[in-house]
Structures are given as C-alpha cells and as structure tokens.
Amino acid sequence: MRVFCVGEAISIPLLRGTARATTHHPLLRAVLHRIVKDEAAHGRFGWIFLDWAIDFLDSDARAHLAAIARDEMAKLLESWDQMKPQPAAADDVHALGWMESQAYVDLARLTLDTDVRQPLRASGFSV
C-alpha cells in the first residue's frame, strides 16, 4: 500500500511532469520519457495486486491498509507543505527537467487526489 499504491502511483506522473518540463534537450527528454515508460509498471502493480487481493481482505485488514495509506499521504502532504518556493529558474535549468516548486507541489497534490485517493475510495477504502 505504502510503496505501490501511494508512492509509485504519485512518482510516475511527477516523472512525466519533469520530462515535460525539459524544454530543449532532446537526449535528456528521451531519457526521462524512457524512465517514465519503464517505471509505469510499478505505478500499476499496486492497483493490479489490490484488485486481485481485495476479496480476500476482511474489515480489519482493509482498515489497516487504509491507515497505512492515510499515514503515507499525510507524510507526503507535510513534506510538500514544508517545500519553500524557489525563485524562477534560469531558462537553461529547464533543459534539465527542472520543475518550479509550486508547479511540482500542484501536480503532486492533484496526482495524490486523482491517482491515489479516488482509486482507493472506489475500492472501498476510507482515506
């Protein structure tokens, strides 16, 4: 739950955002897109496994997994709240996939909702 349904589910869209932020270096952009493609299976694994396992989980197990998810999400939200806005980066830094801190946090929060909370709620977890 902690690693695959929360962590990996968030990391893939953030990697994709970093790849999109790469403005003018084709090799780096290609490398980042390849990483996203290679990592995509990690982002899906937790949900595939959960879909299989969910019928085997009793209410205590579901409550335990929901608590783990809530704990991990709280840690992420706290770390994002502590991020200090950085001054706008020089144009050449965007070539390296730099995302402005606010853009990163905005994407991370949106991803947490759409790629973690919503699927967990749809699976019957109280998060």
> For the chain, what are the domain ranges?
2-122
HSE at residue 119, side-chain half, CA atoms within 13 A, is: 20
Using one digit for the tens of pLDDT, what is the confidence trace for 73-100?
A: 999 999 999 987 766 655 555 556 667 7
> For the CA atoms of 45, 47, 51, 54, what is the dihedral angle to 10 degrees?
110
| pLDDT tens profile 18-51 | 888 777 778 888 888 888 888 888 888 999 999 9
Tell me the whole-structure pTM to 2 decimals: 0.83
Rounded mean pLDDT of the chain? 87
The alpha carbon of 56 is separated from its chain's Cα centroid by a whole number of angstroms, namely: 26
